[in-house]
Amino acid sequence: MPVQIVATELEGIKLDLVILNKKIESITFRQENGLESEQLVTKKHCEELQQNIQLIKNAQNAEVEELNRTIHYIKTKTSKAEEERDLLRLALTLVMQQYDEIPRHSNVMHEETNKAKKSSPEERPNRPTTTQKQRVRTSIDKQIRRPPG
């Protein structure tokens, strides 16, 4: 009889082991399912974050492009303004040079002008003629159109 009792005890232990094995499998299966659903939630969250990051990057790229266009526009305008300033300086220099070439005699000029009104063209003071004025304008126009060397 003791062998039968031992055999029965062994069968009971085997049954307990099978039951425990099934419980472990069940718990493991539930944990795996829980992990899989957690992974799905985490994966979905990561995808949403990646989409948000991409939207932010696109917005930043658009902003950078807009700033680059603004910088280019400002540089172009600045360059044109500097060129115009240089041309105006050149024109002013040429005008001043031409102005300096015209004879000036303060009070004498007034007297000569009054005399010139009364006198003949040959006796008038040395003043630039219309042709000379036109030459000055042409010279200034040529200098303005030609970039400074």
Please check whether residue 13 lies inside any domain of the structure: yes
Lowest-confidence range among 42-46, 115-119, 130-134?
115-119
Based on the structure, what is the number of domains in the chain?
1
Q: Is 124 exposed, middle or buried (0-12, 13-18, 19+ CB in 10 A)?
A: middle
Q: Which domain holds residue 28?
A: 1-75
Please check whether residue 39 lies inside any domain of the structure: yes
pTM flag (> 0.85)? no
Please check whether residue 129 lies inside any domain of the structure: no
Please check whether residue 143 lies inside any domain of the structure: no
Average of pLDDT values for 56-69? 97
Please check whether residue 63 lies inside any domain of the structure: yes
As given in the structure block, the two tokens for residue 132 are: 């000379």
pLDDT in tens, 68-88: 999 999 999 999 999 999 999
Please check whether residue 66 lies inside any domain of the structure: yes
| Model pLDDT, residue 71 | 98
